[in-house]
Amino acid sequence: MTDQSAAVLQVMWNRLLAVVEEQGQTLIRAAFSPIVRECGDISAGIFDARGRMLAQAVTGTPGHINTMAEAVRSLHARFPTQEMRPGDIYMTNDPWLASGHLNDFLLMMPVFRDGVVVGYTSCTSHLVDLGGQGMGPEGSDIYDEGLLIPPCKLVDEGRINTLLMEIVKANSREPIANEGDIYALVACCEAGAARLLAMMDEFGLDRLDRLADHIIDTSRWGTLQAISEIESGVYCNVLRVDGYEGELELHAALTISKDAVDLDFTGTSPCSSKGINVPLNYAAAYSVFALRCLIGPDIPNNAGSLEPFRVSGPPGCILNAQHPAPVAMRHTLGQMTPDLVFGCLHQAIPDRVPAEGASCMFDLPLRHTAAAARSGGRQFAVELVHNGGTGARPRSDGLSATAFPSGVFGSQVEVTEATAPVTIWRRELLPDSGGAGQFRGGLGQRIEMTSAIEEPFMVFLSVERIKNPAKGRAGGLPGAPGRIRVTGRAEDIPGKSELTVQTGEKLIFDTPGGGGFGPPEARAPDMLARDVAQGLVSQEAADRDYEGKT
């Protein structure tokens, strides 16, 4: 194609964004696991021949998308292009290369045109079980947590590596779901490759080089312009979070210059003995996502817009865990880094940064008890995902029971009951859980469940905001903390624990609310009256927190 003017290049760029969205939807439609099919725990992207990310699907999580951007670079460097063949697909679940823990599989497929590699498609999704201790924080190292697959060839010229598939199935409590999810990932790569080639045919492209340079250069320039609008300086913040051995501190020093943003985690607490440690690639993925939410948010996410952001931390701190540290529940702290970063940015752009939110997913891995397995009872493994409220924004209330920053939608009641032998008795928004303020924090939710059969089930808890609720900003009050209970037990269940819910017992968990923004007395009377009328804020709380404005 001879016409590659800026206008035509923009049309092709838009087409790539449509291609990756179709690619992501292929993965969701084909997946077996509810966390993928219903919750959207995925990423999908297209890369140029140099391994630079050109486009990513809107559906997906920062922990998958931004780690995928670096993982493809690593796989591209590891496997010589001249040895690749049409139909090859490479795979790994190495937490330090892929997405931070073993349950996320990352695939990369070279795209050939006239015998030459012109680009790559890639995707990531969560597999429900990889053996070992399973999804949960109890492993003492990575070897306890399941099956680690180094970078290897999953598909060789269109032929699946059947031995590798059998090994994955043999090391899982959910072998059929795992096999189906891997084939869904393969389909995702193939769909992206087919659509990319069709797009190149339509526009008469032999190579992507000119388009790739346009996308990356334009995005980099736009991001640098956005950075330059923020006052240069060093902005520091400390976030205190719940831990196992004791309270943990996450430290951040954000250095903003005219052409780069550097984030340093020096001072952060050392690694835990439990699996809440975070590989740096995952911590960086969520930190950069937070920065990009406020710095050039209208610029598409690709190698160019990501380039000016650099993240570092001392090896061995809990946000830069080193192999073989246990990392199964790395999202417990990794998803807290946006609030850590927002605390820095608030000092530079106070009128644009929301209050703290629930942030970390209320992630409940459930599975059968060992006794049930020995007695021939029903065996299952499932990971339920629920969300709390987001922090209030400078000009509007927070969002209730919303997946931020993860983007992983909450598990649906019908899907949960069809997948695991549990009954959901209640799922509703939790009044008064959002922090009071001129703008109210988003509400958490209450969920109650029991075993649906005459057998107990196990829950592996590693959730945040139980002891350290989301703080308000600019005079707003904190959100309500999370809470976990079992009927008939006097004490609340710690947020970091393992428990067995017996037949007849009811598990009740309240997800946290978001912090408020601005002083409560500044809230408009009609907004407060609406909150009370809709049952979002009780009259008692309105009288207490808003000084009787109703």
In b/e form, how buried is each residue of 120-145, taking b as 16+ CB within 10 angstroms? bbbbbbbbbbbbbbbbbbbbeebeeb
Q: Please state the separation of Cα 518 from the chain's center in Å.
A: 28
- Residue 272: what pLDDT? 96
C-beta of residue 65 within 8 angstroms of C-beta of residue 56? yes
Neighbours of 6 (CB within 10 A): 9
Name the token pair of 140.
Answer: 């003492």
Measure the CA angle with vertex 44, ends 40 and 49; round to 5°.
175
Name the token pair of 129.
Answer: 């079980």
pLDDT over 70 at 550, yes or no: no
- Residue 65: what pLDDT? 94
In b/e form, how buried is each residue of 524-533, taking b as 16+ CB within 10 angstroms? eeeebeebbe
Name the token pair of 347.
Answer: 């000092």
Residue pLDDT, tens place only, 301-318: 999 999 999 999 999 999
What sign results for the dihedral spanned by CA atoms 44, 46, 49, 53? negative
- The region of weakest confidence among 44-58, 148-162, 223-237, 373-387 is 373-387
Backbone angles phi, psi at 278, to 5 degrees: -125, 120
C-beta of residue 233 within 8 angstroms of C-beta of residue 257? no
Q: Name the band, by pLDDT with cuts 50, 70 and 90, for residue 354.
A: very high
Average pLDDT, the chain: 93
Residue pLDDT, tens place only, 267-302: 999 999 999 999 999 999 999 999 999 999 999 999
Q: Name the band, by pLDDT with cuts 50, 70 and 90, for residue 3.
A: low
Name the token pair of 357.
Answer: 């939110």
Q: What percent of the chain has pLDDT over 70?
A: 98
C-beta of residue 366 within 8 angstroms of C-beta of residue 458? yes
C-beta of residue 315 within 8 angstroms of C-beta of residue 322? yes
Neighbours of 353 (CB within 10 A): 23
Nearest-angstrom CA–CA distance, 221 and 240: 36
